[in-house]
Every structure is written in C-alpha cells, then in structure tokens.
Amino acid sequence: MIQAKVYVTLKKAVLDPQGKAVHNSLLSLGFEQVKEVRVGKFIELSLAVSDEKEATALLNEMSRKLLANIVIEDFSFELQQT
C-alpha cells in the first residue's frame, strides 16, 4: 500500500480572496509577521499499489482529470510506503 498526500493550490497568478480574508483576520489577531496567505486543498489517498513509479503515474493522471482544475490550480504530492 502507498499512502499519498496531494496538495492542490491556486496558481500563483490567480488571486485568492479566501487567503486574503484569512490574512486580514490573522493581522487583526495581532500576527503582524504574516505577509501572505494562500488557501489550498489537501487530499489523502490510499493506493493498492506498491510500486512508486506506478503510483506517481496514477496520481498525475487523477490530479489532472479530477483532483485539480489545471486551468486555475497546481498540484503536487508526496508518497509514503505503508
């Protein structure tokens, strides 16, 4: 089994009003050190495969097809053998 952690984030060029609202809220709580906030998604998957190459190919395909909208989002992932 391979455990995968997929991160989906808005592309750098895309404005993130949600991140901005969170940023403003953090500033009003006194966290003045915060310079930027971007909100994304974190998806955990368990794959019934043991080969990391196969898992990478599968994750690339499923991220492009469904997990991320590549028009506005980037994705990355980490794999862990379990």
The size of the interface with other proteins (CB under 8 A), counted in residues, is: 12
Q: What is the contact mask toward other proteins in residues 15 to 54, using x (rule: CB under 8 A)? A: x-xx--x-------------------x-------------
**Strand ranges in the chain using DSSP code E only, listed in sequence order:** 2-10, 41-47, 73-81
Q: Which is nearer to other proteins, 60 or 69 (CB)?
A: 69
According to CB under 8 A, which one of 1, 14, 34, 57 is a site residue for other proteins? 14
Which of 77, 82, 6, 78 has the alpha carbon at shortest distance from 48? 82
